[in-house]
Amino acid sequence: MDKKYIANFNASLPRLGYGCMRLPVNDSKIDFDAAKKLIHYAYEHGLNYFDTAYNYHGEESETFLGKVLPDFKRESYFLTSKLPVWKVKEEADAERLFNEQLKKCNTEYFDFYLLHSLSKKSIETVEKFNLYDFIVKKKAEGKIKNIGFSFHDSNEVLQKFAAAHKWDFAQLQINYWDWEENDAKSLYDTLEKLNIPCFVMEPVRGGFLASFAPNAMKHFTDYNKEASIASWALRWVASLPNVAIILSGMSNMEQLKDNIKTFTDLKPINGKEQKIIDNVIKDLRKIKPVPCTGCRYCMDCQYGVDIPGVFEIYNDYKKSENKIIAAKQYFTFMDEKEQGSNCQKCGECMTKCPQHISIPDELEKIHAEMLEIRPVTVQ
């Protein structure tokens, strides 16, 4: 596993970090033995950065790591968690949540600690309850080594917030699709200008960039049939100079081994490969995905429609052309009330969507398309 020296921390971090939000599950609970095996394998192969959060895996991810990581010497790995800002209703909540997290993680300190999933709205909570001062205080107490935040909003909001305080790092959703489609480039540039190391989440966009329709994948496989599709996305992100670490939520040994391979003797994307990626992006644009980032600002829908869930299934379907998986995900794994047909067209979600998506219209269109593919696939 390659490492990168980050001057701001005076430390070398592995290029790949283990995002513990997609661990293997059994009956919706973390499959302890399978997940432990992955963590051990990762650690033994130099992947010693573990990223968790209060809410991952129904609030069980931290507890899981608290049971597994003590197998290793504390100073031999990096542990990251995040303050669930949305759970802070008064100033004292921050201390209570933080202490709970330390206890669940079975640790005296976090190497990295973030204000989780900030947006214009949640930044109001940060300011109202002095959450920046709170994490600075924990850093002074030695309970946090480095402070940061993860972010999902516009560059305008980021510029103002990032410059208002002193940060050790920040975490952004960066990948070759979001780079231009969702203006991730501006966010990245802002951190670079402010000399804030960028930690990357969703480098493969939750799997969106891990497999495509055969014609799109052909661009990659014609050039190198050995390399996985996901490895292109990971190498692309790793080629950005201000990227300190790249998080990937690996759910099985195959993904873990492939990612470790990608980050061992890592090859940056060269000019020829960038042109190939540009062609893949062109193909992806043709499928016209709904430009949903999964930010969930539109949620909760008062009628129970899982708006980002429907859009994700649809986008995956358009990309993969796999009717069987799409119909199964939509009709079998979603409750009826979560499906697009349950939209009552109240319009409330549209007032909150930063992408200005015409949500009720999209839901109606998608439901009709899902009905068309249903008879072939779902019993």
Residues that bind ligand SF4 (CB under 6 A): 292-298, 301, 303, 305, 307-308, 311, 343-349, 352-353, 355, 357, 359-360
Phi/psi for 156 (5° steps) reads: -60, -45
Nearest distance in Å: CB 112, ligand SF4? 26
- Least distance to ligand SF4 from the beta carbon of 179, Å? 17
Least distance (Å) between residue 182 CB and ligand SF4: 9
Least distance to ligand SF4 from the beta carbon of 27, Å?
A: 27
CB of 290 to ligand SF4, least distance (A): 7
Q: Nearer Cβ to ligand SF4, position 198 or 290? A: 290
Q: Of 258 and 316, which has the nearer Cβ to ligand SF4?
A: 316
The residue length of the chain stands at 379
The angle at the Cα of 147, spanning 145 to 153, to the nearest 5 degrees, equals 160
Q: Nearest-CA neighbor of 4 among 246, 258, 234, 205?
A: 246
Of 38 and 172, the one with the shorter C-beta distance to ligand SF4 is: 172
Provide the 8-state DSSP code for 334. S
φ/ψ of 107, rounded to 5, equals: -140, 160
Of the two residues 252 and 355, which places its CB atom closer to ligand SF4 in the complex?
355
In 3-state terms, what secondary structure has residue 321?
coil
For residues 24 and 291, which CB has a smaller minimum distance to ligand SF4 in the complex? Answer: 291
Nearest 5 degrees, angle CA 374-CA 206-CA 16?
Answer: 155
CB of 97 to ligand SF4, least distance (A): 25
Closest to ligand SF4 by CB, 173 or 262: 173
Share in percent of the chain as helix, strand, coil (round to 5): 50, 15, 35
Of 277 and 359, nearer to ligand SF4 (C-beta) is 359
Smallest separation (angstroms) from ligand SF4 to the CB of 297: 4
Taken in order 346, 347, 353, 358, the sign of the CA dihedral is positive
Reported as half-sphere exposure (CB side, CA atoms, 13 A), residue 258 has a value of: 19
Closest CA to 205 of 169, 236, 170, 239: 236
Evaluate the omega torsion of the peptide bond into residue 93 and state whether it is cis, within 30 degrees of 0: no
